[in-house]
Amino acid sequence: DTGVSQDPRHKITKRGQNVTFRCDPISEHNRLYWYRQTLGQGPEFLTYFQNEAQLEKSRLLSDRFSAERPKGSFSTLEIQRTEQGDSAMYLCASSYAGLVSDTQYFGPGTRLTVL
Amino acid sequence: DQQVKQNSPSLSVQEGRISILNCDYTNSMFDYFLWYKKYPAEGPTFLISISSIKDKNEDGRFTVFLNKSAKHLSLHIVPSQPGDSAVYFCAAPLPSGTYKYIFGTGTRLKVLA
């Protein structure tokens, strides 16, 4: 199976700790996206990469959040000094930039719980 | 401002009957729409999409209808099966070269056996 994978699937941490999530996109996809989903809401865009370049960041992405995609393949999302409000499902998606609208395919998500 | 709206948080349908899930949007510049299905503890799974140059797209039991004048789209599932029970999201990419999707809040479908 060559779908989008995310690690870990679940993370429980104490407030103030740093956490890092990893996303491995579908291998031929050059675009990678991070979204956040909270209960009762749809996924909300955080940031996206085209190859290794981070091209857009949402204002939801405070300075405690940083994302990287160093070699244009996997990506990491780090949250520093976690707060209880960071508790959410963090979703990664990837797509291939084509001539028409590209479809984003999502991974299983990382559920973060901040105590 | 919620640019993509799903006003029905839940829907129950008998197995074998039609399920109709609705989505409204406010941005007339949207030109592509997608439906995703999400099971608990999993990521959204792509179901079907439609371009604004069409008013209907069909894939097996799933059909999406687009009414541009009403800024409304709907997903029809016929016949509904218990395995279709999930949360369904409609989404649209923001126009003008950005690739982020705007999602609705979802409709939880329960198909009763």
Q: Which pLDDT does position A71 carry in this prediction?
A: 86
pLDDT in tens, A14-73: 999 999 999 999 998 999 999 999 998 999 999 999 999 998 888 888 899 999 998 889
Q: What's the pLDDT at B45?
A: 95
pLDDT at A34: 97
Q: Which of A6, A35, A42 faces B106 most closely, judged by CB atoms?
A: A42
Beta-bridge partners for B86: B109
pLDDT of residue A67: 96
**Under an 8 A CB cutoff, do A103 and B103 touch?**
no
Whether B45 sits inside 8 A of A106 (CB atoms) is: yes
The β-bridge partners of B66 are B73
Between A3 and B1, name the one with better pLDDT: A3
Annotate B42-105 with DSSP letters as a single string. S--EEEEEEETT-SEEEETTEEEEEETTTTEEEEEESS--GGG-EEEEEEEE-STT---EEE--
